[in-house]
Each structure stands twice: as structure tokens, then as C-alpha cells.
Structure 1
């Protein structure tokens, strides 16, 4: 059902059937939009104001449904802030079950507090010694007051198809960018960020805008964890496995290393892998003489244990490069003095 819904949202069929599907999805989008207005108005009326915690809260969110890099950015910023003397903690809902595991691996030693009630999670983090809270995927979380809203936009598809869910991938109207204090245009190596930056300036002239890109950094043998330089797999025939919001970005980064993809399997974001699906992939890789199956860390933590029958699994790791990172960190650190 989830796969069907995603296909209808992104590529409805042509003809009369497609027109009916689009009309139905548009009606649902109007309902979704009204729900957004009601939810936001509930807190903006000040009858039930957002809860303000005793430590600053920085939201890392987006306008579209997944794929902009919120979780990697949260981990990257947490490590950088810690290295500058802060005591950050990351708060998240934990949808799909993989994100907490990924964060703990990307930011070891940083407290990761999981829970739908972000107020309770934030208070727990503060009680544990945190002096700065990073709210992963919190732009649409109205109950908790934020001292800074960071919004991530994909350089190639910043606003999806321009429609709200479920007709499109927008979680809020584009005008919601007026709440953003910082806008990060991600995947700036895949598309020219200039048009996106110009559009953001039209909507929110006071936002601090920067760009970010991902670079392949290493491979690790999963689950053993043995680390290999990028050159180790250069020229190798591999199968690619991903169940993320933007599989093309992963595939592009891996191909840039010089591997030779001969089998590719894509699944929906947060897909719970079944042993039979992985057995089919392993069999296809053996037939194609692939030496490795390459996947993401987010996918690797969801892989059920079992034998791959002679096909090794490698996790592709990336590093994030943020233009003007020192200034961004200083903006965040300065919140602690308010």
C-alpha cells in the first residue's frame, strides 16, 4: 500500500485514470493544508503556546518529504559543536527505527534522545547535562519552541512538484520558509544551487543561506566494520542496495568512486528488509559476478542477520562539507548566551 501511494504521488498514470487520481490526491492535499493551518494556529494563538526549555533548541528540518540530509547534518553539527566546547544532544522522533542507530554511529558519545514527546525528551537531555538541543526533523513540530530553525533544501528538487502531501512531497507551503533563520541548500554538487538561493531570498530575505555537499570518504565491511579506502573498491563489480528517500544521490556518489554497478535494487525509505529480498539480490549479484553489495549506513542497520553466500556487504560513508561552516557554528553557539 505504501509503495502504491508513493507511485501515485510521484508518477500517477496517464489518461482518465491519472486525472481521477490527481484530483483525488489534490482534494486530500487541501484537507492536509487545512489541518496544517489548524495545528499551527492552535499554538500561535498563545492559548497553548509552544513550550520553551531552559536551553536553546535548534531545529533541523525541511519542507519536503525526506531526502535532504537532516540526520547526517545533525550528526555533523553535533560533533563540530562538541569539539568547540558545547554539550549538544540530539532529539528525534525515531520514525522507521533506523535513524537513532545511525545517529549513534555517526556521532558517538553524543546523547540521542528518542521520543514523540520532544518536550519530555528535551528535559531529559538537559537533566543529563546538555546545554544545546538539536531537534532532528523539527520544523513542523509546533509544541516545542525553537531558538533557531534551519531548513534544508535539495538543490535539484527544493520544493518537489510544488504540491502539498499527498499530491506532492511538500510538508508545508513554500511560504513557511519565512520562519527559517538558516537555509542550507544540500547536494550542491548535483545541481546549481543559485536558482534555489535566489528563490529563498525572495521569500525570506533575512535568512542566512549556505550550501552543503557530500563527498565519499570510505567503505566499511558490514557488519565486521573493517574500514577500506575508496580505492579498495575502485573498478569492482558491485550491486547497489538502497531504501532511502533519494536513491539516485547515493548511486551517483558511489559511481563517482569508480565502482561498476551491475545490479541495482531500490526500496522505499525505511523499508524493512526481508530475508527473501536480500537472498534474491545476493543471487543476482552472483550471476552478474559482483564482488560486493554496496549500501548506505541507514540501510545497513536494517539488514537482518544472515549469510550472503559469498557476496560481501560494504557501507559507503560520506563526509559533509558546509560552506561557511565556522560562521554557522558560531551562530548556533551564540544562542547559549541568550
Structure 2
């Protein structure tokens, strides 16, 4: 974990030095974002309404909150409702030949970013990436999509939305509660009640009593492992029986969450290594790992490692799970969004 993240989330002693230095920049960030938001609220800047419903899945802080599992969940949910979803994304870290860029079976994470590739490989759904989310959405609508799911984009006020789902890491919550760069927040906690639904990724022991509303719990469920080289899938319980220990890497927003997931399933981690979110992996990153011990990684990391993977490398897909009551709430919110766009 980078030092600044330790300051944001773990109250590292360096906070006494860094936070006072960064607070003036946070004040400037607040001023610029406030002026921009007011501009949209009073019509000085225009929001664009598409002729199809738009669901925005975002957060008020930096990454690693669990947006992608929610996007995957919504893709399947909207298909069950008889719709043809399309996903738009910024495509962070990718350098496409042009924008908006429509992914195909030959697209790579170098072009589109890691999350869009993960989503496409898992769901075979139309995906367009680019900073102009409206242009990306219109491209998908031209492809026959009748509902747009925006992966991130909560602060992209130029794109009007019919429903907002805000994802919050139930463990890290809001860190020190400060705006970037002194803290991890893009917007303050005041933003939560203005959304349609707050989804807590994992149970939270605090802040829930403030009722940021309505708030529901999400758990990430893992049932199997997939081999990067062969595509073989094996039940997690069977894999555990065969392997006394594993190595693990994670280049996501909250790497420790992945390692905790492994240990929670009774996997003994021999060696683990964290990388920054969206890290561009190369074979040299794995030189210190013993090839005789299985190496486990997240699905997001795996999309960047297929070109040089080894036979003992595995990734762990996870799925969002909700209670029946909360699932129905998501369905109700989605159906309202659909009706409001008609």
C-alpha cells in the first residue's frame, strides 16, 4: 500500500506532515468541484439526456470499492428483465486507437483498460470506452443496446442518469473523511443521500447508523478458481484440499481485501505481494515466486497476465450477492429507471 493510502485509511503517523501540506490543495479541489456542480444544478452547464435509461455505478472516493461486481450483476439482471444492456467506461490505463472505442474479441487491456476487458470476457456485452461518456453511450445505442450501465462516472454530471448506485467499501468506508488529495474522497458524504441506493461492499460496523439511505449490504462470493493457461475451472473447496499453501498477488484498489478473502477460505498464503491499482504486469513482477506453488490473483489482474502466464497460475472470480429483499430493491429501482426514461 502506498504511503498516501496509509495516511488516508490507516491513520499513518505521516498524516501529521502530509495532511497539513495537502489541505490547501483539497480546498482548491472542493472549490473547483463545487463550482462545476453548481454550474450543472443551475443550468449553466448542460446535462445530456439519452433516449435510453442510464444506470450509473460509482463511488464518492478512490477505487477499490467493488463497482465491477455490481456492474456484472446489473448486466445479468437487466438481461433477465428482457433488456439489451451496454456498458460505458472511462477505460482507465488503456490507449485505444480512437474514441469512443467499441471493444471486440481482439481488444486488449492495453487498449481498453483492465475492467472493460474483464466485463467483456465475463459477460460478452457491448462495451465502449472513452472520456466522452455520451459519445460512448450513443455508440452503444446505435449497436442496439436499450439500457446503458456506466462503470464509474458518478461525478460525470454532463451525462444525465435515471438511477445512481453508490458503492462503499464496508471496511475502509471513507478513510479520514477528507477530499483529495489530503483524503480519498472525490465528494463529501453529503452526496450519499442524493443517490438512489448506497451499496456497502461487506458489513460496516460504523457510519451505517447515519442512514445514508437507502443502504444495503453486498457480499462477494467465490466458488471456483480458473487456470490462466488452460482455462480449467475447479471448485474452490476441491482446490483447497489439493494445496496446502499458495502465493498471491493483487493489483487492485484494496489488495488486502483479496488476501483476506483467500485466508477466509482457509487458504494458507506462503507469499503475497501488492501492486498499485491498474498495474501493468510483466513477467519480471513474478520472478520471486516459486513456480511449484500455485499463484492466485484476482480476475482483474488476470486479464493482463494471459500472454505470459504459467501452468500454476489461477484467478478467483467473485460475484456480487444480495439478500432476497435487497435484490428486489435493486430490481424496483431499475424498473423505475426504465419507466422514467420512456
Residue 107 of structure 1: which of 108, 123, 134 is its match? 123
Runs (4+) off by over 6 Å: none
Q: Is residue 64–residue 160 contact of structure 1 (8 Å, CA) maintained in 2?
A: no
- 1:251 matches 2:259: yes
Residue in 2 that maps onto 1:122: 137
Give how far 1:144 is off.
0.5
Q: Is residue 18–residue 182 contact of structure 2 (8 Å, CA) maintained in 1?
A: no
Give how far 1:279 is off.
1.7
Give how far 1:5 is off.
5.0
Change (3 A) 1:329 1:307: closer
Give how far 1:3 is off.
4.7
Give how far 1:64 is off.
1.4
Give how far 1:13 is off.
6.7
Change (3 A) 1:277 1:197: same
Q: How is 1:218-229 mapped onto 2 (pairs within 5 angstroms)?
A: 218-229=224-235
Q: Is residue 221–residue 227 contact of structure 1 (8 Å, CA) maintained in 2?
A: yes
Residue 276 of structure 1: which of 284, 288, 305 is its match? 284
Secondary structure of residue in 1 paired with 2:79: helix
Give the structure-1-normalised TM-score. Answer: 0.87
Change (3 A) 1:24 1:304: farther
Residue in 1 that maps onto 2:21: 24
- 1:210 matches 2:221: no
- Per-residue CA deviation, residues 33-59 of structure 1 (Å, 9 max, x unaligned), is 112112212222202221111111111
- 1:331 matches 2:333: yes
- 1:320 matches 2:311: no
Residue in 2 that maps onto 1:204: none
- 1:156 matches 2:171: yes
- Name structure 1 gaps, 5 residues minimum: 202-206
Instruction: Report the Cα distance in structure 2 between the residues aligned to 1:8 and 1:160, rounded to whole angstroms.
Output: 9
Aligned length: 317
- Per-residue CA deviation, residues 70-91 of structure 1 (Å, 9 max, x unaligned), is 0111011111210221111111
Q: How is 1:55-204 mapped onto 2 (pairs within 5 angstroms)?
A: 55-96=52-93, 97-108=113-124, 110-188=125-203, 191-192=204-205, 195-201=206-212
Give how far 1:169 is off.
0.7
Instruction: Report the Cα distance in structure 2 between the residues aligned to 1:196 and 1:153, rounded to whole angstroms.
Output: 11
- Name structure 2 gaps, 5 residues minimum: 94-112
Instruction: Report the Cα distance in structure 2 between the residues aligned to 1:319 and 1:102, rounded to whole angstroms.
Output: 13
Q: What RMSD over aligned residues (CA atoms) do the two structures have, in Å?
A: 2.1
- Per-residue CA deviation, residues 136-184 of structure 1 (Å, 9 max, x unaligned), is 1121111101111111112122212111111111111111113201111
Secondary structure of residue in 2 paired with 1:295: strand
